[in-house]
Amino acid sequence: MKNHIKKGMSGLLAFLMCFTVLLSAGVTPAFAASETCTTYSVGFPRDGDANQVYSNEVWGHPSLTHMNGWHSNDVDLTTLHCMNSYDGQICYCIEPAVEREMGETMSGFGEDFWDNYPSNLNNTIQPDDIKVLLGRIMQYGYHGTLSTAWRSQNSADADKIAHAYATQILVWETHHRTRQRSRYYRRVSRRFRP
């Protein structure tokens, strides 16, 4: 009798586990597709930064033309983006030089975004590969919050700025192959050392 109860309970729990896994399979993409947030930009260097030099040689970059028809404007600071406040969770830009208004509301895309990915955005990597690579970048890249109190003379702050900016560069590189064939990015960490 005791074995029948154990086997019955085991079967019931196995069925319940399979049922809940199947039931929850579509919840995350559906939630991501309906998720919205207000975005903010934080520019570096900040007031009070020891490296407060507004130059495309130090913090920004000159005007660039990238592969697949993308371009970036001349900028003299490094801009990172966050959600719902200036000290919010970091988010990453996938389209360089596409202007947006401060406090603009953005919406997430579902998993089906990659099924209909426009080939003109990146004709060198397949959409499924982009999705896998971006997932890895998000796993290993910076995914904390930003802070308007960060200053590059503080080594912990400099590491976070460098990590977040390196992650942004990898997102651009993967999403639409931003690197010019004749130009390589400078080492990100060099520009943030005190």
DSSP strand pairing (64-65 vs 71-72): antiparallel
Residue of 36 and 19 predicted with greater confidence: 36
Q: Binning pLDDT at 50, 70 and 90, where does residue 150 land? A: very high
pLDDT of residue 85 exceeding 70: yes
Q: Binning pLDDT at 50, 70 and 90, where does residue 159 land? A: very high
pLDDT of residue 182 exceeding 70: no
Phi (first) and psi of residue 89, to 5 degrees: -60, 135
pLDDT of residue 12 exceeding 70: no
pLDDT of residue 21 exceeding 80: no
E strands, 25-139, are: 36-44, 64-65, 71-72, 78-83, 89-91, 105-107
pLDDT of residue 52 exceeding 60: yes
pLDDT of residue 130 exceeding 80: yes
- Whole-number pLDDT of residue 191: 46
Distance between CA atoms of residues 3 and 172, nearest Å: 58
Q: Binning pLDDT at 50, 70 and 90, where does residue 169 land? A: confident
User: Which tokens go with 113?
Assistant: 């975004």
Q: Within 10 Å of residue 106's Cβ, how many Cβ atoms?
A: 13
pTM recorded for the entire structure: 0.69
Contact residues for 100 (Cβ-Cβ < 8 A; gap 6+)? 39
- Whole-number pLDDT of residue 112: 81
Residue 81 has what DSSP assignment?
A: E
Distance between CA atoms of residues 113 and 118, nearest Å: 9
Radius of gyration of the CA atoms of the chain, in A:
22
- Taking the alpha carbons of 89, 90, 92, 97 in that order, is the dihedral positive or negative? positive
pLDDT of residue 145 exceeding 90: yes
pLDDT of residue 89 exceeding 90: yes
- Residues of the chain with pLDDT > 70, as a percent, come to 70
Nearest to 80 by CA among 177, 192, 190: 192
pLDDT of residue 18 exceeding 50: no
pLDDT digits (tens, 9 = 90+) for 58-69: 787 788 777 767
